[in-house]
């Protein structure tokens, strides 16, 4: 099945990026968020990223206009669902929110529509169970920042059909990404390995082993990581990091995945990293 129309649910850091790469790939895109301000802010961010590409000579001004022209905005889930061949959901990492959206999308979308989630760690099988089309539900886990990062983890739920899987692999490739197939276990591959490392770095701050700057420097210079784990945590969002650790902890029932109390404290304080202006570092 050749997909033409892609709807993206959630116009935050991930949803905006996904809408951008989909429009760049030539798809007609509908971008949705809860309010007109939020969805417009998402489009504005895409506009400025594309302007930067024009300034760098990577894109012509006409191409920029054409890409933006392929994105329409809505706050109505029925509108986002009604003509979509593929819906990619990128709202907050909470099962009850995602499940409700998938149940409603199942009602609004045509019978052929594939429903994908950009979840970082929540079970695709459980999201699929909120619909009557579990064979057409799949995980499509993009990396942040979406326009830059090559990987898409494609996660098969228990019931995901081969046809759905192949269509989504092809869509990811058309968006210029390299899809990698994984099975549905908490955290998939990427966050099962990455997030315990970030959590351990937070424990190192909590235990007073070293400052955030020192920890990041050790991992950058010593392990050749392009950025330290605490800089990365601020970039991902500390709320998202906490949700993922909770999913791993609950999913495996193993104390090695317990979220660091300092991570909980920062999230309760509203220190969510870059997006709130403060996390392990200050961004004012």
Closest residue to ligand NAI in the complex (CB): 12
CA dihedral 182, 183, 188, 190 (to 10 degrees): -10
Q: Enter the tokens of residue 33.
A: 């968020």
Least gap, CB of 3 to ligand NAI (angstroms): 20
Q: Which is nearer to ligand NAI, 32 or 43 (CB)?
A: 32
Cα 91–94–95 angle (5° rounding)?
110
Binding site for ligand NAI (CB under 6 A): 9-15, 32-34, 38, 90-93, 97, 101, 118-120, 141-142, 144, 236-237, 240
Catalytic residue among 7, 117, 118, 191: 191
Minimum Å distance from CB 84 to ligand NAI? 15
Residue closer to ligand NAI, measured from CB, 25 or 88:
88
* Angle between helix 238-252 and 261-269 (nearest 10): 140
In the complex, what is the shortest distance from the CB of residue 13 to ligand NAI, in angstroms, rounded to a whole number? 4
Whether 225 is catalytic is no
- Active-site annotation holds for 118: no
CB atoms within 10 A of CB 57: 7
C-alpha 42/C-alpha 17 separation (Å) is 9
DSSP 2-36: ---EEEEE--SHHHHHHHHHHHHTT-EEEEE-SSH
Catalytic residue among 89, 93, 141, 199: 141
CB closer to ligand NAI, 134 vs 139: 139
Nearer to ligand NAI, 66 or 151 (CB): 151
Catalytic residue from among 7, 118, 120, 121 = 120
The minimum distance between CB 190 and ligand NAI, in angstroms, equals 8
Catalytic-residue membership of 112: no
Task: Please give the helix or strand (H or E) that residue 87 lies within, else none.
Answer: strand 86-89
Catalytic: 276?
no
Read off the tokens for 277. 């202006």
Q: Which residues are catalytic?
A: 120, 141, 153, 191
């Amino acid at each position: 099945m050749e997909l033409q129309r892609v709807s993206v649910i959630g116009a935050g850091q991930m949803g905006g990026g996904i809408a951008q790469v989909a429009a760049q790939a030539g798809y007609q895109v509908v971008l949705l968020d809860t309010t007109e301000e939020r969805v417009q802010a998402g489009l504005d961010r895409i506009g400025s990223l594309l302007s930067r590409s024009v300034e760098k000579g990577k894109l012509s001004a006409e191409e920029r206009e054409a890409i933006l022209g392929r994105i329409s905005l809505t706050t109505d889930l029925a509108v986002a669902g009604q003509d979509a061949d593929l819906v990619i959901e990128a709202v907050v990492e909470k099962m009850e929110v995602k499940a409700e959206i998938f149940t409603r999308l199942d009602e609004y979308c045509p019978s052929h529509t594939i429903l994908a989630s950009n979840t970082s760690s929540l079970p695709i099988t459980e999201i699929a169970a909120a619909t009557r089309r579990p064979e057409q539900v799949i995980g499509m886990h993009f990396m942040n920042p979406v326009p830059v990062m090559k990987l898409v983890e494609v996660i098969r739920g228990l019931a995901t059909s081969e046809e759905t899987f192949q269509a989504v692999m092809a869509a990811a490739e058309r968006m210029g990404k390299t899809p990698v197939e994984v099975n549905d276990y908490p955290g998939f591959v990427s966050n099962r390995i990455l997030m315990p490392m970030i959590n351990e770095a937070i424990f190192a701050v909590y235990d007073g082993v070293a400052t955030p700057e020192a920890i990041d420097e050790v991992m950058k210079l010593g392990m050749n990581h392009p950025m330290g784990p605490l800089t990365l945590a601020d970039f991902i969002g500390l709320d998202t990091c906490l949700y993922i650790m909770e999913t791993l902890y609950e999913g495996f029932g193993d104390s090695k995945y317990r979220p660091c109390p300092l991570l909980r404290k920062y999230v309760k304080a509203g220190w969510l990293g870059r997006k709130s202006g403060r996390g392990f570092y200050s961004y004012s």
